[in-house]
């Protein structure tokens, strides 16, 4: 870099943009502690009432449990699938490699509503299935596959194939080598991939709501709360919790990913 | 990655010809199939198959009952005949273009600053940018609903500090509200690919430009900006594609004038109305998304790279 000196207008612009990005949400979180049903200035007083109401809401806790189950199981499967595909792409001479990577990235460029509608039609019309959490889980796996493949690929690309070769020379069979050599090498990336998939799943609304039956996930439940103005503060309190949990997960995933890939500015970040 | 493959090939050839297969126990192609199969199955069953059924549904007279086996072009005819659908489609495209344009306009300086003036704090800045992108989408839209509403935070704040006497109406439940909210949502998604593109510019190139006597703005126009075009394209796609199909934001802040094509699709399916029509409209969205995608791929091929190029 030739110009490392700070530019004042640039710094100001950066700060203004960060305020723009964070202020709306922070204001909302602050108001989740406001002692009034209406979200308006001035601040009436501090209360934990809305959070207490949350704890008492059975449906909400069920939705939270569902979201955690769907999140964990879909992320585990997506990470496994993504890792295997990443090994195939980086460690093997794969025919039609670019075609495969292109096809695997399609969920990334599909508008959620189209994906949701297409799955709804398949599940209901073709297979005549009752919509349930397992179908939501399977759908979440699909939308996380592109990112898990890319994250693990980025990590594996930084390591030469020598370690695996050595293990096989010493008599380990292929799957043993994957388990004992490749798995530990890619562990930080695997965790980052898992967390990325989990945050995606935990926050997914636009597609999920279309394939939701009787059991709802947290975002779907949050959205249904919005229909009742009196419950808005409760919805905001719940949104704040989701926000904080996902922020923690994002930071952790980001930390692991930067360990995982060495090169911080990789194109695969996104 | 190509180098890796080559390395592995030459190792296989020189060191232990043929033993690879024996050691592995399973032929190499077998391993490959087992590695790729789960991903391939998922893509086939949850992406390709659903899309095929969507196309088939769009040619049906009705989704259920005896009419479901009757071939019909009704929904396509309806799509071209009914100006309401076209108006909504055009509005969605227009909103998406507006949102993409302003998002990139606002993100570019942000990415530029991080890439060239970020210094040691670059990764911190990057994290600050990414966190909102991955956290609650609904909450961030909800924030604008609560801020822009006529008895919302913005109005009560302005009234409270005495800047205005009457609440400002018309901010909320409008197309403008949809555009503002979506720009707010997508800024990190557009800034990131632009940042990555700017990051990869060799500092030597800019030095050479200044050695050859070009002023900073000339260097920017002739070197920096052209080299950042792949990032801009990627950013554009990341914003444009999800916006065309957006229906949550219009439903929350758009009001009747801010509705987009996604809202109609959602209505068709969730209320159990005309599924074939909904399928046709979904395919229209796909086509709308495919055009810029193909164009971008063309440009990327010509310029040699789009984000993932090697």
Residue of A nearest to B144 (CA): A24
Q: Are A111 and B51 in contact (CB under 8 A)?
A: no
Domain extent at residue A67: 50-269
Q: Which pLDDT belongs to residue B306?
A: 42
The segment with the largest mean pLDDT, out of B12-16, B100-104, B257-261, is B100-104
Q: What is the dihedral of CA A116, A118, A124, A130, to 10 degrees?
A: -30
The pLDDT, as a whole number, for residue B103 is 97
Q: Which range among B18-27, B80-89, B211-220 shows the weakest confidence by mean pLDDT?
A: B18-27
CB burial of A195-207 (b: ≥16 within 10 Å; e: otherwise) equals: bbbbbbbbbbbbb
Smallest CA–CA separation between A190 and chain B, in Å?
16
- Given a contact cutoff of 8 angstroms between Cβ atoms, the answer to whether A94 and A161 are in contact is no
Classify A158 as helix, strand or coil.
coil
Which helix (H) or strand (E) element contains residue B187? Answer: helix B175-199
Q: Do B201 and B294 have their domain in common? A: yes
Give the model confidence (pLDDT) of B233-248 as tens digits.
Answer: 999 999 999 999 999 9
pTM: 0.85
Classify residue B293 as exposed, middle or buried by CB count within 10 Å of its CB (0-12, 13-18, 19+): middle
Bigger pLDDT: B186 vs B128:
B186
Closest residue of chain B to A91, computed from CA coordinates: B5
B159 & B277 share domain: yes
pLDDT at A116 over 90: yes
* Domain enclosing residue B35, as ranges: 20-52
Average pLDDT over every residue of B15-24:
42
CATH of the domain at A71: 1.10.3720.10
Q: B130 lies in a domain?
A: yes
| Domain membership flag for residue B203 | yes
The ipTM estimated for the assembled molecules is: 0.84
Per CB-CB distance under 8 Å, the chain B contacts of A31 are 146, 153
Judged against a pLDDT cut of 60, whether residue B305 lies above it is answered with no
Give domain status of residue A169, yes or no.
yes
Instruction: Choose one of B52, B68, B94: the last residue of a domain.
Output: B52
Task: Give me the residues of B, 97-126, that contact A with CB < 8 A.
Answer: 106, 109-110, 112-114, 116-117, 119, 122-123, 125-126
Question: Does A103 map to a domain?
Answer: yes
Omega before residue B106 within 30° of 0, cis: no
Q: Does residue B63 fall inside a structural domain?
A: no
Is the domain of B44 the same as that of B93? no
Looking at residue A260, its pLDDT comes to 58
What CATH number should be reported for the domain holding residue B95? 1.10.3720.10
Residue A4 inside a domain? The answer is no
What are the tens digits of pLDDT across the range B152-209? 778 888 888 888 877 777 777 889 999 999 999 999 999 999 999 998 888 888 888 8
- The interface residues of chain B toward chain A in range 169-228, judged by CB-CB distance below 8 A, are 184, 187-189, 192-193, 196, 199-200, 203, 206-207, 210
Asked if residue A16 belongs to a domain, the reply is no
Between B41 and A53, where is the model more confident?
B41
Reduced to 3 states (helix: H, G, I; strand: E, B; else coil), residue A34 is: strand
A154 falls within a domain:
yes
Q: Are residues B278 and B131 in the same domain?
A: yes
Nearest to B246 by CA among B144, B136, B95: B95
Instruction: Give CA–CA dist A257/B9, Å, rounded.
Output: 29
B48 and B87 part of one domain: no
Dihedral-angle region of residue B119 (phi above 0 means left; psi in -120 to 50 means alpha; beta otherwise): left
* Predicted pLDDT at B8: 43
Q: What is the tally of structural domains in chain B?
A: 2
Instruction: Find where tokens 């998922």 sit.
Output: B42
Arithmetic mean of pLDDT over chain B: 83
Given a cut of 80, is residue A132 above it in pLDDT? yes
Q: Number of structural domains, chain A?
A: 1
Across the interface, whether the CB atoms of A14 and B110 are under 8 A apart is answered: yes
DSSP class of A127: S
B23 touches chain A (CB under 8 A): yes
């Amino acid at each position: 870099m030739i110009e490392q000196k700070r530019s004042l207008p640039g710094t100001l612009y950066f700060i203004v943009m960060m305020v723009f990005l964070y202020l709306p949400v922070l204001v909302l979180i602050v108001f989740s502690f406001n002692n009034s049903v209406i979200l308006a200035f001035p601040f009436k007083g501090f209360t934990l009432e809305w959070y207490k109401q949350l704890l008492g809401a059975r449906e909400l806790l069920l939705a939270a449990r569902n979201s955690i189950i769907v999140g964990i199981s879909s992320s585990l499967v997506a990470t496994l699938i993504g890792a295997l595909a990443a090994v195939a792409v980086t460690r093997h001479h794969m025919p039609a490699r670019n075609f495969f990577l292109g096809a695997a990235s399609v969920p990334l460029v599909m508008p959620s509503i189209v994906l949701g509608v297409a799955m709804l039609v398949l599940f209901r019309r073709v297979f005549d299935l009752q919509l349930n959490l397992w179908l939501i889980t399977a759908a979440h796996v699909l939308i996380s596959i592109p990112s898990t493949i890319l994250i693990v690929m980025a990590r594996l690309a930084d390591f030469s194939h020598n370690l695996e070769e050595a293990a096989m020379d010493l008599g380990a069979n292929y799957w043993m080598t994957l388990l004992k050599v490749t798995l530990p090498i890619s562990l930080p990336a695997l965790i980052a991939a898992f967390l990325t998939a989990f945050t995606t799943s935990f926050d997914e609304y636009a597609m999920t709501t279309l394939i939701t039956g009787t059991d709802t996930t947290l975002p779907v439940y949050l959205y249904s709360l919005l229909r009742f103005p009196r419950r808005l503060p409760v919805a905001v309190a719940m949104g704040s919790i989701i926000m904080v949990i996902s922020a923690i997960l994002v930071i952790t995933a980001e930390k692991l990913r930067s360990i995982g890939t060495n090169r911080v500015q990789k194109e695969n970040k996104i | 990655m190509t180098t890796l493959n080559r390395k592995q090939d030459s190792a296989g050839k020189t060191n232990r010809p043929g033993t690879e297969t024996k050691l592995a126990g399973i032929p190499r192609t077998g391993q490959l199939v087992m590695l790729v199969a789960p991903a391939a199955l998922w893509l086939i069953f949850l992406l390709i198959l659903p899309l095929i059924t969507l196309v088939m549904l769009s040619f049906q007279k009705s989704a259920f009952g005896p009419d479901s086996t009757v071939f019909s072009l009704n929904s396509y005819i309806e799509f071209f005949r009914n100006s309401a659908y076209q108006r909504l489609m055009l509005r969605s495209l227009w909103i998406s273009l507006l949102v993409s344009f302003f998002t990139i306009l606002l993100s570019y300086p942000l990415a530029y600053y991080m890439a060239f003036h970020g210094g040691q704090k670059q990764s911190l800045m990057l994290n600050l940018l990414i966190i909102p992108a991955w956290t609650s989408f609904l909450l961030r839209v909800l924030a604008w609903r609560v801020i822009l509403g006529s008895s919302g935070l913005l109005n009560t704040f302005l009234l409270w500090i005495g800047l205005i006497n009457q609440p400002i109406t018309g901010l909320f439940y409008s197309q403008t509200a949809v555009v503002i909210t979506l720009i707010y949502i997508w800024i990190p998604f557009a800034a990131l690919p632009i940042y990555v593109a700017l990051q990869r510019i060799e500092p030597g190139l800019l030095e050479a430009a200044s050695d050859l006597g070009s002023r900073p703005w000339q260097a920017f126009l002739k070197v920096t900006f052209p080299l950042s075009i792949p990032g801009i394209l990627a950013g554009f796609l990341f914003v444009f594609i999800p916006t065309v199909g957006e229906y949550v934001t219009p439903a929350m802040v758009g009001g009747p004038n801010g509705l987009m094509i996604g809202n109609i699709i959602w209505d068709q399916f969730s209320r159990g109305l005309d599924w074939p029509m909904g399928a046709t409209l979904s395919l229209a969205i796909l086509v709308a998304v495919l055009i810029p995608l193909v164009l971008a791929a063309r440009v990327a091929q010509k310029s040699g790279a789009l984000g993932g190029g090697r």
